[in-house]
Amino acid sequence: MSRDITTIIRRAMALFVIVIVAAGSVAGWCSSARAHALQPGFLDLSAQPDEAWRVTWRVPDVNGRPMPIGVRLPENCSPRDGGRPVFDGTVWVTVWRAVCRGGIAEGAVSVDGLEQTVTDVLVRFELAPGKAGTLRLTGNASTANLPGIPTRTDILATYIGLGVHHILLGGDHLLFVFALLLLVPDTRRLIGAITAFTVAHSLSLVAATLGWIVVPAPPVEAVIALSIMFLASELARPPGSQLRLSERHPWTVPFGFGLLHGLGFARALIDIGLPQGEVPLALFAFNLGVEIGQLMFVAFVLLTRNLLARLYPQLIASLQTPGGLRVMAYAMGSVASVWFLGRIAAF
């Protein structure tokens, strides 16, 4: 009976690896065609004199064409939409000047076709010069009324939500944290590693968002995939007398890679924009949202592991052996390798 159980577990683990690698391969090699489709659209309404607004509408690229979504400004604005977009090498951009008699406060902004996509649209608006706010449109809520001048509470709630949303959709960031959980089983060391990772990406997030560090997005995304490959290679090494680099420096390694991941978080925040006069609050709120999302993921992984340990103790025990960890390391490393190659090819 024990041999049968072992055989079933091995087959299940092999199937798991095949599915993960296949899914990662499809996602990675299709990234040049579809990755941008998962990026948010972006609408910026910058207040100008004489009840005019400078409208910047950025749409993700899908197979060399703009995603089929279109923005509609409030009814008192003219024109309500722009002309044909221009590809800037990353996204499709349309810029025009709209006159909105009476202002845009309480006006309805909508995105046609958004309900047919898996992305969302971030809207940054100025009701008056220097009075900025942010909201998000989704497929389930593709129309929203622009609020009045946002309060500090509004900014805090909005940017916390954006931070949580960004981290939970960041598969590469979550896979890095998952690998860290497997690599550092000791609770005290794990807390130190997560803390170091948090401090590091918080520092680089602030520095990049404020323009103190300027790094192109494609190399950053490629190195983030490389960081997952490194942790996977550490996890795949058999236990022995020689300590792994991550074991010799349990805080230094996540701190170094955390700086890189922070640059990735900053790219999303730069795309969203920061409200003038409330930059520190928005930075704090977005970073807090990222941390909340990260803790939600860690809690989910730990709860799932404990639940499976009760329901399938033999399976969890086999996954925690050196062989089981090596299987998961190869699966994660394979997915990260495909991401890395796809991102390098997209330079």
What is the model's pLDDT at position 250? 66
What is the model's pLDDT at position 56? 94
Of residues 7 and 336, which shows the higher confidence score? 336
Q: What is the 3-state secondary structure (H, E, C) of 195-211?
A: HHHHHHHHHHHHHHHCC
Helix, strand and coil percent figures for the chain, each rounded to 5: 60, 20, 25
User: Are 134 and 123 spatial neighbours (Cβ–Cβ below 8 Å)?
Assistant: yes
The pLDDT-based confidence of 148 (bands split at 50, 70, 90) is low
The pLDDT-based confidence of 78 (bands split at 50, 70, 90) is very high
User: Are 52 and 33 spatial neighbours (Cβ–Cβ below 8 Å)?
Assistant: no
What is the model's pLDDT at position 22? 42
- Mean pLDDT across the chain: 80
Q: What is the DSSP letter of 212?
A: S
**DSSP codes joined into one string, 123-147:** EEEEEETTEEEEEEEBTTB-EEE--
For the residues 179-200, what does the mean pLDDT come to? Answer: 83
The pLDDT-based confidence of 247 (bands split at 50, 70, 90) is low
171-189 pLDDT, tens digit per residue, is 888 999 898 888 877 777 7
Dihedral of alpha carbons 91, 92, 97, 101, sign: negative
> Which residues 6+ apart lie within 8 Å of 64 measured at CB?
none
Q: Where are the domains of the chain?
A: 2-34+168-345, 41-150
The pLDDT-based confidence of 14 (bands split at 50, 70, 90) is very low
CA 255/CA 275 separation, integer angstroms: 29
Q: Is the pLDDT of residue 68 over 70?
A: yes
Q: Is the pLDDT of residue 134 over 70?
A: yes
**For the stretch 123-140, what's the b/e string if a residue is b when 16 or more beta carbons lie within 10 angstroms of its beta carbon?**
bbbbbeeebbbbbbbbee
125: closest CA among 267, 252, 272, 296?
272
Beta bridge partners of 135: 123
Q: What is the DSSP letter of 278?
A: -
Q: What is the 3-state secondary structure (H, E, C) of 304-341?
A: HHHHHHHHCHHHHHHHCCHHHHHHHHHHHHHHHHHHHH
Q: Which residue in this structure is represented by tokens 């593709």?
A: 142
What is the model's pLDDT at position 265? 80
Of residues 62 and 319, which shows the higher confidence score? 62
